[in-house]
Structure 1
Amino acid sequence: MELSTRAIQFSLHKPKIVTAIMLVFTLVVGAFIVKVHVDTDPENMLSEHEPVRVFHDQTKKEFGLYDVVVLGVVNEHNPDGVFNPETLQRVFTLSKFAATLADPEDPERRVVSRDIIAPDNVDNILQAGLGQVRFEWLMKEPPKTREEALKIRDYALSNPLLKGTMVSEDGKALGIYLPITKKDFAHSVAEKLKEKIAEIGAGDDEFHITGLPVAEDTFGKEMFIQMAVSAPLAMLMIFLLMLFFFRNLQLIIAPMIIAVCTVIVTMGMLIGTGHTLHIMSSMIPIFIMPIAVVDSVHILSEFFDAYQQRKNRKETLIYVMGDLFKPMFFTSLTSAAGFLSLAFTPIPPVQAFGIFVALGILLAWLLTIVFVPAYIMMMNEESLENFGVDTTDASHENSFLNRHLRWIGKTSSGKPWLVIGVNIGIMIVGVVGIFMIKVNDNPVKWFKKSHEIRVADRVLNSHFGGTYEAYLILAGNVQEMTVAQAAEQLKEKLQSILPGSPAILNSAMEDIAQVITDSKSVQGLKDALAQLWNIELDNAPEDDDTVYDSWGKALDSLGGIGAQKEVFKRPDVLRYISDFQEHLAQKGDVGKSNTVADVVKKVHMELFEGDPERFAIPDTVNAVAQTLISFQNSHKPDDLWHLVTPDYTKANLWLQLRSGDNLDMERVIEDVEQYFAANPPPVELSHDWAGLTYINVVWQEKMVTGMMESFLSSFAVVFLMMTFLFRSPTWGLLAMVPLTFTIGFIYGFIGLIGKDYDMPVAVLSSLALGLAVDFAIHFLQRTRMTMAKTGDWGEAIRDMFDDPARAILRNIIVIAIGFTPLLLAPLVPYQTVGVFLATIMLYSGMATLWILPALLTVMKDWVFKKELKAFGEKAEG
């Protein structure tokens, strides 16, 4: 006796034991779910050891950077915008409140109060006479008059570090940037701010909260709600549809029990093995449920149609399971193979998703073949008295479902070339659409357009330079100078700046020759010469300005010697960065950039009594150093180290983008590469990227590449499995036809309508593989069995478009309509899965019922040789 037969016989004879084992196993494994740990950080799409993550973490530590929650205030009603006493009072209150936010259970999760960017926590840089600047808080206390409020606006707009970042250019909006120590604290910060806003009142102001950390953390919280709401609603819809088809409340509970048990055990295994509940793994129940129900519907459909002929549960089940065991086993294997291929992608959460969906599919198959027969055997025989009774009615034969199935069968077999031609045409259009696909993702777009996070994103990015952050890190590759190299460079510099003072030039050259032999370092050389030339400066005749100026220039020239390693003090390098910022602004994708060059220009202007013409990079290293020293007298001197390292060998160009779409970030990356190639920097600079917006680009690219490779490999594996199942490469290829056409249609449609190829869409290819092949296997296997029995293609096609086609169509309807509740979800990935799950079911089912009969009609004399031979031998015997 085969293993399959023994398993079914055990279920038929020991139904209570089977049920008890299943329930105990479900409860034991499901108990691990209480240990769930949610992780919605897209960063974790990449391995901890991925170079981009390592560099990102290193950059955050090196420059003291944190992930940021953005609280935006907009006032379109007041003629002065947000710069009125009432609004600024609210801003002041919220800023002070935000500075106190911390998790009482984990003090490490907090707002970094010192680094908040808000009017009360940033400096106003003011001139204090020639050569001096002073620093005072931009808004030490809320203004009491309109004049005071407008003065704050004017000061903020005059600071390039604040204009476009903290305050909009039109004065209608103001942003408070709240750095947080951990991204998973973002949602809590947002909720606390909402409570405070409700407490103080909004008046004419609009408050918006956004930022990638908020979007990611909020998605995690709402994801749980969707798991608790959408999945049960989908199950309810499936339940009602099966009740409509099979009209036996007690019987259709079995598939529901299987789906629930499969989901619980799969999630229990996921969490029990130490995996976090990620964005991807949150969708495991949604992917498992349709596949878990599909096999049950096949069994119930066949049982529904065969029961009245036998009037015996056991005989009917043995008959049904005999026909369905092999197709169900292979469809489960192929579906599992499709998802298991995701284990070879370079993205850990996708790997876990693929592995556990595959395990869930196999578990669903096992539970289906052992529990459904056991459940039916435990039912009261009287409850099946009228089950399937309408299969003998004439009304049933003429029902809407059956009439259309017969029409499909007649058309596909009667006009095969027309059917094939139409579908090839659809496929060609699909291929065109595939080439139009745009790979793009943005965590903020995981929410529907009306969601408060999407609204905040639109409003604030229309006012500010951008709420999406990327960091371009420049590093100087200049080697340390030797004393001899420094002396030569100094001689060249003196010759260029003292051509009109030959006596002083010769004296300076002699001094260099004198001290070079005793100098052990470049700094020693500079110190010795500075001492000599300061004496010359002091001894210069009071009435001889030329001598005084010449020795002054000689002293200034020392500042740039040996400072080559301090790349980002060099005027030429800072001017290069400033020009680069202007280039990015003209391109448009970068709304605002902040660099050390902005600090130098602003302080330099104020050192010259606020002269706008002095808003520029000074000409010497010494002058640059003076601006930086002056800035460090501010209330927050450490702010400088967010933009440059203390040794001035690395600089951080903080770029603000108005969009977090991968396509926009990729354009910025391309612009940067083209600019550096066309405009080489004055010294050798290396560059690299950090920031969440950039990391999203990297994992998206890896995901798309990985998904493509895994799909192609699983396509090949499934083809080999089909060839093995049917013992024929030809039949293996036929089984792949509905899948190929479904993929072509689905992804062509995505390209044609301009839908972004994002995370949910990428993983749906695996679901398409599983479901499309499921229908094909059932249809082809049953067709071969029917042909071996009838020996006539016309009779076989009529039989195929009775019970088998009806089972496929019922599955299509149950799953396609059953998951429509997902369309009501506020989370776009769930909506996407709902739409494309229904589309995959409809098209793969229709492709099976239309294309396969047409191909088999054309190829019948070739592909059915074995079946016709078996029929002939049977007839002769």
Structure 2
Amino acid sequence: MKLASWVADVSVRRRKLVVGVTLLLTLAVGLLAALPSIWPDSFPALHGVKVDTDPENMLSADEPSRVFHDEVRQRFQLNDIVVVGVVDDSNAEGVFHPDALAHVHDLAEFAKTLRWKDKNGEDAGVVEVDVLAPSTVDDISQGGLGSVRFEWLMPVPPKTAEEAIAVRERAQRIPFLNGTLVSEDGRALALYLPLTAKDLSYRVGAALKERIATYGGTEQYHITGLPIAEDTFGVEMFIQMAISAPIAMVVIFLLMLWFFRRMALVAGPMIIAMISVILTMGALIATGNPVHIMSSMIPIFIMPIAVLDSVHVLSEFFDRYRETGDRTATIRTVMDELFAPMLYTSLTSAAGFLSLALTPIPPVRVFGIFVAMGIIVAWLLTILFIPAYVAFLPEKTFEDFGASHAEGEASALSRALRRMAPRVNGASKPILALSLVLLAVAGWGISRIVINDNPVKWFSPDHEIRVADDVLNSHFGGTYMAYLALDAPKTTWDPAAFVASVSARLLDKKTSLDAEGLPEITSAFTAAENELRPMAEAATDATGALASLEKLASDRADAADSDDVAESWDEVRSVLSAERQSSDVFKDPEVLRWMSRLQAHFVESGKVGKSSSLADIVKTVHRELFLGEDDQYRIPDTSAAVAQCLLTYQSSHRPDDLWHFVTPDFREASLWLQLTSGDNRDMVAVHEALDEFMDEEPPPGGLEPHWFGLTHINVVWQDKMVAGMLKSLGGAFVVVLLLMVVLFRSLAWGLLAMVPLTLTIALVYGAVGLMGKPYDMPVAVLSSLALGLAIDFAIHFLARARREVERQGSWAAALPVMFDEPARAISRNAIVIAVGFLPLLFAPLVPYQTVGVLLAAILGISGVATLLLLPALLGTFERVLFRSRAAR
């Protein structure tokens, strides 16, 4: 007895055991995942559902760019930001009227209160001290020559229209606020709410919406930003999964019911799909893996594959049943016929997804491994559960069951396929020629593919987040934040060089003071020089050595017995202060001017709407120190003047804002960029703009630039994903080819089986390029699904073709048989899966729409290619492909 017949026979005879074990295993795995999720305290040793919607986790925790991103954000105390934009198109002054600004003031005060306890019992939510709103920022203005006044921009809501307009005018005079807090057209404003953790953004957004709903004004509020887009997608993703997957299954069920006419029988494949999903997702959760954006789509990928084999079985069973009228005998025959093709189609599909384990993206690896596991589970259930299930059904289920093959009673599909056979046979050369033309066009389309992604575009165009994104980025400098860290070169501690530098400064100072005839000066400077070397040798860095020397100078000045001696030691301290400032790279006027020119270059590139840095703070304060004269909006000429500007700024209400732009040792600075687009290709263009500028104008002092921020991180993981996908796709293609060679025991037949697959992938991705659809995460991942599904029909067709040629004696005689039951099974499968997943087109999330379109395209193209191209190739190369038969 063949293995397939034996397995079917055991499943039929032990049907109660097979069904019972299957249901018990499903229940056990389901409970293992569900119980610790519902009652975590009662099952502390088990893993419950953990949701991870952070695209940052597409990179491994030890990925250098991610480690640097986290370290630098902490160093500059930068947080992810939710942006709230306010516009009012019904008012001539936009939002700058008393009613709207009263609501804005209230919303800012309310946002400060959005704090909760996290799982560790610590406060989490909006970072109150860093909120940017009209009521929380300073109006920087001149207070007389050499003086700057810092006052809250809008401490209370304005009472009159004039006061409201004054708020706008004062804000627009401050470069940091113009285009950021207030739109350059003067009609809109934005609030920036930094968060302790980005996964709170959806919760913060929901609370803000509740508050906004109480206002009833004419202004409109838009909430956006990468953090809230990513967090919102995570929430809606699960809602959509709960809606789309059942709808798809209902459509598939109805289509199968239309084809096979028995609800009880059609329920079998549905049960297999459901059990496959439960076992796979249960195993994912029970092993401690979080449900990520990728893994949330596992059910959508497993269901069509789980149904495919079952449809082949039911189709064959439906067509053969009337020959015997015996369901157990028929199911044994069917399983014997389909066992090998189903095994190899499952192996090739699993190989396609296992290839994702080669990618450097952890969630993609998990996704690939568990989908592959689900495919194998679905195959095992098909060969074990379906025969047992069929045997379990009552006899009356099969009354008047099965297809009639009489010409007058055949279905429309059967009649159409029978008429197709001679036409395909007579049009082999035109079919092959058309295929080559399509392949050439597809190649051109593939060359036009643009690699790009943007989490905000994962939503449909009419989604509130997309609308908010469009509105705010048309008014402001941009809601997508990218950051450039500029680091001074790291230096090793050299006591001798330090001593030489300070000695030279002491000598210059003595010379400038004309110290001859001033014994106190000579004595103080000589004493400092005598202490210089031992203190330098005892220190571990310049900071420590200077601290020791400054303490010596202070002690000697305090202990001085005359004003002349004290003043002499004050001169020594001025030398030491100058030495300290020499290491403060970002107090150097030339460095700050270079940063300003870099900022201007970024804006001129067209991808950056607004840029902010330490240079802007210095220029703004310098202007106000000189009576607010516009021509004084510049970098001062000396480091001491820069230091004076920074010291003045630290008298503001928000002095710690300075440390968002520079570290306290003034050796590292961050440059903020606001992009009006979150497209990865736009961020790449900004990268290129930096490289271009640095080639033309190298940074002074050997400054080293390093990118960080969410917009940059998205580029990093996408680059890794694309490279990883290409590598995994190439590896899986080779594995599938080897499997085909083993299955058919022939290199020629193995290559033949790859033809529909190759054409399908080429046409699908060629169409992606021709339509201008970006090559993003869903499109990349679907390449693995294409690999598995597109080979399915070819395996079934070629396996049956070889058998039928053996039975009929020639390909010409076998062709009409192939366009009977085998072609019907392939057509039914293509229709069921392609049409079944079309409801995904109506999902509000673009990745689900993409899956629906590409699933339909993959099944449709591979089905047509199998039924047209393979017969044409078999007819054209019959002598080569059936050489052993001809010899016999």
TM beyond 0.5: yes
> Where do residues 787-866 of structure 1 align in structure 2 (5 Å cutoff)?
787-866=805-884
Structure 1: distance between partners of 2:727 and 2:453: 19
Query: Are residues 782 and 643 of structure 1, via their aligned partners in 2, closer, same or farther at CA, if it must alter by over 3 Å?
Result: same
Give the secondary structure class of the aligned counterpart of 1:362.
Answer: helix
Q: Does the Cα contact within 8 Å between 1:560 and 1:620 map onto a contact in 2?
A: no
SS, match of residue 268 in structure 1: helix
Q: Match for 1:133: what amino acid? A: V
How far the C-alpha of 1:4 sits from its partner, in A, is 3.3
Provide the C-alpha distance between the structure 1 equivalents of 2:593 and 2:530, rounded to a whole number of angstroms. Answer: 36
1:360 alignment counterpart = 374
Shift of 1:2: 4.5
Aligned length: 847
Any residues of structure 2 matched to 1:437-836 within 5 Å, and which? 437-477=449-489, 479=491, 482-488=498-504, 516=529, 519=532, 523=546, 561-836=579-854
**Letter of the 2:219 counterpart:** D
Q: Which amino acid aligns with 2:134?
A: P
Q: Which residue does 1:545 correspond to in 2?
A: none
CA-CA distance at 1:527 after TM superposition: 10
Out of 2-11 and 805-814, give the one that drifted further: 2-11
The Cα of 1:60 is off from its aligned counterpart by: 1.4
* Distance of 1:290 and 1:3 partners within structure 2: 26
The yes-or-no answer on 1:347 pairing with 2:365 is no
Deviation at 1:404, TM superposition (A): 3.0
Q: Is the contact between residue 487 and residue 512 of structure 1 (CA under 8 Å) also seen in structure 2?
A: no
Tell me if structure 1 keeps the 8 A contact 2:524–2:572.
Answer: no
Q: Please give the alpha-carbon distance, in whole angstroms, between the structure 1 residues aligned to 2:572 and 2:622.
A: 22
Give per-residue Cα distances to partners, 1:829-854, cap 9 Å, x unaligned: 00000000000000011111111111
Structure 1 Cα separation of the partners of residues 780 and 172 of structure 2: 45
1:78 is the counterpart of 2:102 = no
Q: Distance in 2 between matches of 1:494 and 1:696?
A: 56
Letter in 1 for 2:833: I
Query: Are positions 1:32 and 2:50 aligned together?
Result: no
Residues in 2 aligned to 1:509 and 1:617: alpha-carbon distance in whole angstroms: 36
Aligned CA distance change for structure 1 residues 410 and 33 (closer, same or farther; 3 Å): farther
Greater shift after overlay, 248-257 or 125-134? 125-134
The CA distance in 1 between the partners of 2:403 and 2:866, in whole Å, is 28
- Give the conservation status (yes or no) of the 8 Å contact 1:494–1:557: no
Q: Displacement, 1:562? A: 4.6
Q: Does 1:422 align with 2:438?
A: no
Structure 1, unmatched stretches of 5+, are 540-551, 873-877
What's the CA shift for 1:435?
1.1
Q: Distance in 2 between matches of 1:493 and 1:410?
A: 103
Cα drift, residue 129 of structure 1: 1.6
| Mapped partners of 1:509, 1:298: distance in 2 | 102
Secondary structure at 1:175 match in 2: strand
Are 2:274 and 1:260 aligned?
A: yes
Match of 1:103 among 108, 111, 116: 116
Aligned to 2:17: 17
Match of 2:308 in 1: 294
SS at match of 2:61: coil
| Alignment of structure 1 residues 380-399 onto 2, 5 Å | 380-396=394-410, 399=411
Partner residue in 2 for 1:112: 127
Q: Is the 8 A contact 1:99 1:113 kept in 2?
A: yes
Write the distance in 2 (CA, Å) between the matches of 1:171 and 1:274.
Answer: 51
Residue 868 of structure 1 and its aligned partner are, at CA, apart by: 4.4
Secondary structure of residue in 1 paired with 2:701: coil
Q: For residues 390 and 553 of structure 1, do their structure 2 counterparts lie closer, same or farther at Cα, with a shift above 3 Å needed?
A: farther
CA distance in structure 2 between the aligned counterparts of 1:303 and 1:812, rounded to whole angstroms:
18
Taking the aligned partners of 1:278 and 1:51, their CA distance within structure 2 comes to 22
Question: What displacement does 1:808 show?
Answer: 0.2
Residue identity opposite 1:774 in structure 2:
D
Shift of 1:735: 0.8
Checking the alignment, whether the CA contact within 8 Å between 1:786 and 1:796 is kept in structure 2 is yes
Report deviation, 1:204.
1.6
The partner residue of 2:234 within 213, 220, 224 is: 220
Instruction: Flag the 1:528–1:369 CA change in 2: closer, same or farther, 3 A.
Output: closer
Tell me by how many angstroms 1:469 deviates.
0.7
Change (3 A) 1:791 1:140: same
**For the aligned residues, what is the CA RMSD?**
2.6
Q: Distance in 2 between matches of 1:492 and 1:863?
A: 94
Q: CA deviation at 1:395?
A: 3.5
Question: Per-residue displacement from partner, 1:718-763 (whole Å, max 9, x unpaired)?
Answer: 1111111111111111111111111110111111111000000001
CA contact (8 A) 1:605 1:612 kept: yes
Q: 2: CA distance between counterparts of 1:492 and 1:678?
A: 36
Deviations 1:5-26 (A, max 9, x none): 3321111112222111111111
Mean Cα deviation higher: 480-489 or 847-856: 480-489
Identity of aligned residues (%): 53
CA distance in 1, matches of 2:572, 2:598: 31
Aligned: 1:166 with 2:181: yes
Could you tell me how far 1:694 is from its partner in structure 2? 0.4
Match of 1:312 in 2: 326
User: 1:542 — aligned with what?
Assistant: none
How far does residue 510 in structure 1 lie from its aligned partner after superposition? 13
- For the residues of structure 2 that align with 1:827 and 1:78, how far apart are their CA atoms? 34
Distance 1:404 1:433 in 2: 32
Does structure 1 retain, via aligned residues, the 8 Å contact 2:525–2:572? no
Whether the 8 Å CA contact 2:320–2:403 is kept in 1: the answer is: no
Q: For the Cα contact (< 8 Å) 2:318–2:402, is it kept in 1?
A: yes
Contact 2:114 2:126 in 1 (8 A): yes
Distance in 1 separating the partners of 2:652 and 2:848: 50
**What SS does the aligned partner of 2:78 have?**
coil
1:277 to 1:681, Cα distance in 2 relative to 1, 3 A: same
Question: Matches of 1:212 and 1:793 in 2, distance apart?
Answer: 59
Partner of residue 64 from structure 1, selected from 77, 81, 85: 77
Secondary structure of 2:653's counterpart equals coil
2:401 pairs with 1:401: no
Alpha-carbon distance between aligned partners in 2 of 1:112 and 1:554, rounded to the nearest angstrom: 43
Question: How many angstroms apart in 2 are the aligned matches of 1:834 and 1:616?
Answer: 56
Q: 1:121 aligns with which of 136, 141, 146?
A: 136
SS at match of 1:71: strand
2:423 maps to 1:411: yes
Q: Distance in 2 between matches of 1:452 and 1:553?
A: 64
Maintained 8 Å contact 1:435/1:751: yes
Which deviates more, 472-481 or 240-249? 472-481
Tell me the distance in 2 between the aligned counterparts of 1:526 and 1:574.
28
Q: Unmatched 5+ residue regions in structure 2?
A: 35-47, 537-544, 565-569
Higher mean displacement: 341-350 or 560-569: 560-569
State the alpha-carbon separation in 1 of the partners of residues 115 and 885 from structure 2. 74
* SS of aligned partner of 1:810: helix
Scaled by the length of structure 2, the TM-score of the pair is: 0.91
Structure 1 Cα separation of the partners of residues 445 and 144 of structure 2: 66
Q: Tell me how far apart the structure 1 counterparts of residues 116 and 238 of structure 2 sit (CA, whole Å).
A: 21
Q: Aligned equivalents of 2:218 and 2:797: distance in 1?
A: 65
Residues 1:111 and 1:309: Cα distance change in structure 2 (over 3 Å)? same
Aligned residue runs from structure 1 range 38-57, under 5 A: 38-57=51-70
Residues 158 and 494 of structure 1: is their aligned pair in 2 closer, same or farther, counting only changes over 3 Å?
A: farther
Give deviations 1:68-105, integer Å, cap 9, x for gaps: 11111012222222221111100000000010012356
User: Which residue identity does 1:145 align to in structure 2?
Assistant: T
- Residues 478 and 683 in structure 1, CA contact (< 8 A), matched pair in contact too: no
